[in-house]
Homo-oligomer: A and B are copies of this chain.
Amino acid sequence: MSVSESKKKDTSTEEKIKSAAKTVFYNKGFAATRTRDIAEEAGLNLALLNYYFRSKAKLFEIIMSETFVGFISGMKVILNDEGTSLEEKVKIIAERYIDFIIKEPEIPTFILTEIRNNPDGLLKRLPIREIVNESVFIKQFQEAVEKKEISEPNPLHFLMNLLGLVVFPFIAKPIIMGSRNLETEQFNNLILERKKKIPIWIKAMFTAV
C-alpha cells in the first residue's frame, strides 16, 4: 500500500464517519445521539451512514467494541505479566491509564453509562472475569496476603480502589472543574500529579503494618 493510499484510507468516508461517531457517541451516549449529529460532525450526507454501516445500532456496536477492547485488553496483559511485581503493576496501571484517558477523557463515562443500558450484551465481550479470577495479579495478591504483606484479603477491594482512584476524577470531571473554575489544562495537571501519587496511596492503604 502506497503512502497516498494509506493516507487516503485514513481520511476515507468510512473512517470519517467512524471518527465522527466516536466523538458524538462518547459525548452524548447512544440514546442522545442523532444520526444527523454524526453526519454533521463528519461533514457528510446522512445516507452515507446507512450506506457504510447499515444502521445507527451497528455503527454504535462497532465503536463500542473497539473502545472496550482498547480500554480493557491492555489491562489483561499488564495484570498477567509474570515479570512485574504487584507494586509495579499498580504503577504501570496508574501511569498508562491516566495517559490513555487524558487523551480520550470521555471514555470512562461512556463505557460505564452504556454498560448500564445494556449490561449483559457488553460484559460478555470483556475478559473481566478472567482478569479478576485467574490472572497472575490475583496469584500475586493471594501470595502477599498469605505472607501478611497485605492486610486486605479481598482483591476486589484492591482493584476497586485502584480503578476508582484512576477513573473517578474523569467521571466527576465537570463537578471538579466547576468546583474551582479550573480550565482543562489545570484539571489535567491535577490528574497528572496522581500518576505518582496513586501508587503511593495504594501502598499506604494496603501494606500491612
Interface residues of A (CB under 8 A from B): 27-32, 106, 109, 112-113, 115-117, 119, 123, 126, 128-129, 131-133, 152, 154, 156-157, 160-161, 163-165, 167-169, 171-172, 174-176, 178-181, 190, 193-194, 197, 201, 204-205
Contact = CB atoms under 8 A, between A and B. Distances in A.
28 contacts: A27-B116, A29-B29, A29-B32, A29-B113, A29-B117, A31-B32, A32-B32, A32-B117, A106-B116, A109-B116, A112-B172, A119-B174, A123-B174, A123-B175, A128-B179, A129-B179, A129-B180, A129-B181, A133-B179, A152-B197, A154-B190, A156-B190, A157-B194, A157-B197, A160-B169, A164-B165, A204-B204, A204-B205
A176 B160 contact: yes
Contacts of A201: 161, 205
A165 B128 CA distance: 20
A79 to B, nearest CB: 12
Contacts of A190: 154, 156-157
B163 A172 contact: yes
A147 to B, nearest CB: 19
For the residues of A in contact with B, the DSSP-based class is helix
A135 to B, nearest CB: 11
Given A112-B109, A113-B113, A164 B169 contact: yes
Contacts of A32: 29-32, 117
Nearest to A128: B179
Nearest to A122: B174
Contacts of A180: 129, 132-133, 156
A29 B27 CA distance: 14
Contacts of A109: 112-113, 116
